[in-house]
């Protein structure tokens, strides 16, 4: 009887705590680093459907996108979270950059305005996150004001961070440069579109979201 | 341009608008130069864009914006001070003796219990 009671309590307590709140996992980073590609990969792998559109033109994601109750599994463990894909954070948004990519002027201006709104929205949501994946393009220089500011602010807020160096399938990829730029943080390389190193990524998520 | 505490800030500009930008004295020259390069159409477009970005719907209340964290150079061209945005947690507000404050924390939806 006592054993059964103990089992009951042992089963009940973790469930109580796990249902205490929904874990919010945010995806942050500069534009075109592959945040939505990674969100899509996670959702396709575990829910069988993508989260949002991706594009070669920067600032495709201009509103917060949420997929609730994503459950991933590794062996006997499982982890459930709300996945929150955020608009890319940039310090300069110029419609002329979109026009150069063959976008019509009025649409480019609209995109610039919405992208600016998106940056503000991303920042406003930061405090709501329980853990954050900072997605960086491993073919680009990681030493940027945006990257340093986002990561610095997450740490200052005690929000657990995993830096994801995306696009490792590309020739120009240099993950070591990201590791050198952020030596005190966990850095994991992957390719969201090709799925390279995705299993290690899921294992890292369990460590990130405890 | 109207100094702090002007009647126009409450009643509206002679042009009919009740929408103002707050400018620090030391930045007056810089802003004047920037504004002098803008056409009336540009100014109208910028005003509309700012209202869209921060979600102002009530046209009747006077609004004074302190837009230090976002610089709008021309319609469609924005410079964002990410450090300041993260630090201040408040993009825009102001009206000394004022009558209206916009705090972006309240203009943006926060889903704390997602």
Give A184-194 pLDDT, tens digit per residue.
999 999 999 99
Angle at A155 between CA A152 and CA A156, to 5 degrees: 85
- As given in the structure block, the two tokens for residue A6 are 């103990």
- As given in the structure block, the two tokens for residue A202 are 């899921």
According to DSSP, the β-strands at A187-189 and A161-166 are parallel
With cut-offs at 50, 70 and 90, classify the pLDDT of residue B106.
very low
Q: How far is the CA of A111 from the CAs of A63, A87, B8, B85, B96, in angstroms?
A: 11, 12, 34, 21, 34
| Least-confidence region, from A8-22, A115-129, B60-74, B99-113 | B99-113
With cut-offs at 50, 70 and 90, classify the pLDDT of residue A2.
low
Residue of B86, B88, B90, B102 to mutate for A, most A C-beta atoms under 10 A: B86
Cα separation, A80 vs A20, in Å, equals 12
**Sign of the four-CA dihedral A86, A97, B68, B81:** positive
What's the number of domains chain B is made of? 1
Which helix (H) or strand (E) segment holds residue A38: the answer is helix A35-47
Whether B83 sits inside 8 A of A93 (CB atoms) is no
Which of B77, B110, B114 is nearest residue A68 as measured by Cβ atoms?
A: B114
Which class in CATH covers the domain with range A22-208?
alpha beta
User: What is the rounded average pLDDT of the residues A164-170?
Assistant: 98
| Whether complex ipTM tops 0.90 | no
B2 within some domain: no
B78 within some domain: yes
With cut-offs at 50, 70 and 90, classify the pLDDT of residue B13.
confident
pTM of the model: 0.80
Interface check for B111 against chain A (CB to CB < 8 A): the answer is yes
Residue B42: CB partners within 8 Å, gap ≥ 6? B74, B75
Chain A positions contacting chain B at CB under 8 Å are: 21-22, 24, 66, 68, 82, 84, 89-96, 108-109, 112-113, 116-117, 119-121, 123-126, 128, 145-146, 149-150, 153
Which helix (H) or strand (E) segment holds residue A150: the answer is helix A145-156
Contact A18, A124 (CB under 8 A): no
**Sign of the four-CA dihedral A28, A32, A36, A40:** negative
* Closest of A199, A148, A209 to residue A178, by C-alpha: A148
Q: What is the pLDDT of residue A17?
A: 46
Chain B nearest-CA residue for A126: B86
Quote the domain boundaries for residue B55: 16-106
- Specify whether the backbone of B86 is left (phi greater than 0), alpha (psi in -120 to 50) or beta: alpha
* Of A106-110, B30-34, B105-109, highest mean pLDDT: A106-110
């Amino acid at each position: 009887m006592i054993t059964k009671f103990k089992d009951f309590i042992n089963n009940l307590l973790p469930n109580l705590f796990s249902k205490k709140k929904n874990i919010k996992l945010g995806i942050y980073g500069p534009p075109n680093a592959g945040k939505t590609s990674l969100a899509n990969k996670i959702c396709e792998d575990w829910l069988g459907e993508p989260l949002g559109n991706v594009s070669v033109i920067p600032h495709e994601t201009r509103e917060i996108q949420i997929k609730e109750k994503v459950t991933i599994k590794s062996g006997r463990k499982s982890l459930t979270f709300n996945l929150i894909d955020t608009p890319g954070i940039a310090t300069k948004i110029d419609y002329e950059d979109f026009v150069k990519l063959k976008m019509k002027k009025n649409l480019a201006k609209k995109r610039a305005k919405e992208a600016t709104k998106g940056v503000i929205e991303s920042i406003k949501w930061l405090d709501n996150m329980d853990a954050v994946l900072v997605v960086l393009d491993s073919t680009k220089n990681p030493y940027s004001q945006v990257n340093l500011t986002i990561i610095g602010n997450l740490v200052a807020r005690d929000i657990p961070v995993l830096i994801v160096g995306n696009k490792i399938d590309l020739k120009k990829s240099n993950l070591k440069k990201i590791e050198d730029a952020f030596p005190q943080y966990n850095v994991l390389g992957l390719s969201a579109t090709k799925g390279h190193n995705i299993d290690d990524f899921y294992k890292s998520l369990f460590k990130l979201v405890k | 341009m109207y100094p702090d505490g002007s009647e126009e800030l409450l009643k509206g500009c002679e042009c009919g608008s009740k929408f103002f930008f707050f400018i620090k004295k030391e930045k007056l020259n810089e802003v004047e130069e920037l504004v002098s390069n803008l056409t009336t159409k540009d100014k109208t477009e910028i005003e509309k864009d700012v209202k869209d970005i921060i979600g102002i719907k009530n046209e009747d209340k006077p609004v004074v914006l302190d837009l230090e964290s976002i610089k709008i150079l021309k319609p469609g061209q924005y410079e964002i001070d990410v450090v300041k945005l993260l630090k201040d947690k408040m993009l825009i507000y102001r009206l000394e003796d004022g009558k209206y404050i916009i705090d972006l924390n309240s203009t943006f939806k926060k889903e704390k219990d997602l």
